[in-house]
Amino acid sequence: MGSLVNKHVLMGVTGGIAAYKSAELIRQLQKAGATVRVIMTPAAQEFITPLTLQALSGYPVHTALLDSAAEAAMGHIELARWADLILIAPASADFLARLCHGEGGDLLGAVCLASSCTIAVAPAMNQAMWANASTQKNVNNLNSRGIKIIGPGEGYQACGDVGAGRMEEPDLITDQVKALFTSNLLDGKKVVITAGPTREALDPVRYISNHSSGKMGYALAVAAVEAGAETILISGPVNLQAPERVTIMHVVSAQDLLDASLEAVVDADIFIAAAAVADYRPAHNAHQKIKKNDDNISLALTKNPDIVATIASLEKRPFTVGFAAETNDLENHARKKLNNKKLDLVIANDVSNQSIGFNSDDNQVTIITNDSTEKLPLMSKGTLAIHLIRHLASCVSK
Ligand code: C5P
C-alpha cells in the first residue's frame, strides 16, 4: 500500500469521547509521511485541548471561522486548498448531519464546502445514535456524494453500551487513508511525464533557463503511480525529491529531454509534457568560459525541438497532453496549441495571475480537447494532479 509522503492531511476533530484517539491518529499519519494540520470544533475542545494537538501536529490548531489573526495566517480558503485530504475523526452524529446539509457556519463546515479534495469521515457515537434512521440516511447521502466513510467499529462503548459506533482504531484509519490515495484507474498503463526547466549551455559555467519549479509534473507523477501506472518522470534540474516508485530520468537540455522522451515513450499510453522547455538555445556552446572583454556582445539563438509535438507526430503515439501557460485569451491560444501540435488534450493556465502557475503550490486550469472545455477551480497542485490523472484515465479507457 502507498505511503503518505508529502500528503497534506487536514484533520477535523469534532465533539466525542473518541477525540482522545485523534492524538494517536496524528502520530500514525505523520509516521506514514503526512503533514497534519488540525481543525477542532468547540465541542471537541471539551474533550481534548488544542494545545495537545498543536504539540503533536507541530502547527497551530484552527478553531474559529471568524478569527482575524488566524485568517491572516491561514484562513479557511487557504486551509481548504492546502488539504490533499480532509479527514474528520471523530465525526459526531451532529457533524455528519451538518456536513450532509452543507452547513458552513463553522470553520470545519466552511472548509469542507470550500475544498475540492477527498473528504473522509470516521464516525464515532453511541450505538443507538449510529443506528438511528436520521444518521443512516445522512451517511448514505454522504456516501453517494463520494465522501468516504471509515468505520465505525463495533464493541464496548464509553457509555456502557455495546454495538456499532466506536471510532475505528488509528492504525486502521491510517491504512484506509493510504488506500484513499491509491486506485487501479491506470493499472497496466505506462505514463511518461516531463517536468521542470531545461538549461541551455552558453559556456562551461553559464546557461539560459527559466523559473519552472517542476512541482506540477512531480505531482502528476505521484498521482499517476498512485493510480497504478508504470510511471516515468523525465526531469530537468529542480529542487524536488524523486517520488517513490517512479522511474526518474534526469536531463539538462531540451535536446536531452527529447532523447529521453523518445526512449521512454515506447509502448507508453499517455505522454504529459509539463516541462517548461527553453524555446531557444545558444547557437554556440563555447568550450571555454566567455571573457568579459567587450562592452556589448550578441547572442545568437537557435530554436529547440518541440518535444510534445515530436511525440504527437510519432506513428505509434500515446495519448499526448500539453500545457499552455498564457497571459491572455487563454482558450483561443490553448486551442491553437492543441491543433498546431496535434495534441489530444491541453491543460491551460493563466500565468498573469501571480498566485498560480510557476513556483506556486496552487494552480487553476482549464482542460481543453477538440470538443470540450472544462474549467476546474483553484486547488493545490497535488489535488489538481489527482483530478487530471482521473480525467486522463477516463480518456484512455474509452
Ligand atoms: O509552445 P509552448 O511552449 O507554449 O507550449 C507549451 C507546451 O509544449 C508544454 O506542454 C511544453 O512542455 C511543450 N513544449 C515542448 N517542447 C518545446 C516547447 C514546449 O514539449 N520545445
DSSP for 274-288, written as a single string: --B--SEEES---SS
The CB of 322 under 6 Å from ligand 1? The reply is: yes
Give the Cα separation of 304 and 279 in Å (integer): 5
Residue 72 has what pLDDT? 66
The CB of 344 under 6 Å from ligand 1? The reply is: no
Residue range 311-328, pLDDT digits in tens: 999 999 999 999 999 989
Catalytic (active-site) positions = 159
Whose CA is closest to 70, among 50, 46, 87? 50
Residue 361 has what pLDDT? 84
Residue range 37-92, pLDDT digits in tens: 999 999 999 999 999 999 999 999 999 887 776 666 678 888 999 999 999 999 99
CATH 3.40.50.10300 in the chain: give the residue spans.
190-396
Q: pTM of the full predicted structure?
A: 0.89
CATH 3.40.50.1950 in the chain: give the residue spans.
8-180
**Does an H or E element contain 10, and which?**
strand 8-13
Give the Cα separation of 278 and 272 in Å (integer): 17
The CB of 251 under 6 Å from ligand 1? The reply is: no
SS3 161: coil
Q: Cα–Cα distances in Å, from 112 out to 95, 107, 274?
A: 11, 9, 30
CATH architecture of 8-180: 3-Layer(aba) Sandwich (3.40)
Whose CA is closest to 122, among 67, 171, 163? 171
Q: Which CATH class is domain 190-396?
A: alpha beta
Cell numbers at residue 391, please?
A: 480525467
Residue 75 has what pLDDT? 82
Give the Cα separation of 170 and 18 in Å (integer): 11
Q: Whose CA is nearest to atom 21 of ligand 1?
A: 306
